[in-house]
Amino acid sequence: MDGAEADAIKHQVSQCPSGALSYTESRKEKTADNTETDVTTSVEVMRNGPLMVYGNIVVKDGKGNELKKNKVTAFCRCGASSNKPFCDGTHMKIGFKD
């Protein structure tokens, strides 16, 4: 990883078959009052469960509507959630394994 471009590292982490690898990305953003703040987001694949995103994010649906999510967001990986793209816990009922 030493000397590699950030995008190359992110791509390699995304290829991890076990989901054991993850990364955190930090960047500066200007807030409404024009001050700079660190924005940090990390992603974790939960064994037999959802994809967890830690940080403040904006989720845009297929119609372009935006939903702000703060701190922790669980995205469905099993495909059975009744509240897609978010996890509603159904993965436990169906015995999702991955």
Binding status of residue 49 toward ligand FES by CB under 6 A: yes
* 49 contact partners, CB below 8 Å, separation of at least 6: 74, 77, 87, 91, 92, 96
- The single residue among 43, 53, 73, 76 that binds ligand FES, judged by CB under 6 A, is 76
Q: Does 90 bind ligand FES (CB under 6 A)?
A: yes
Q: Which amino acid is at 52?
A: M
* CA dist., res. 13 & res. 65, Å (int): 29
Work out how close the CB of 62 gets to ligand FES at its nearest, in angstroms, rounded to a whole number.
Answer: 18
Which of 57, 81, 95, 97 forms a contact with ligand FES (CB under 6 A)?
81
Positions that interact with ligand FES (CB under 6 A): 49-50, 76-78, 80-81, 87-91
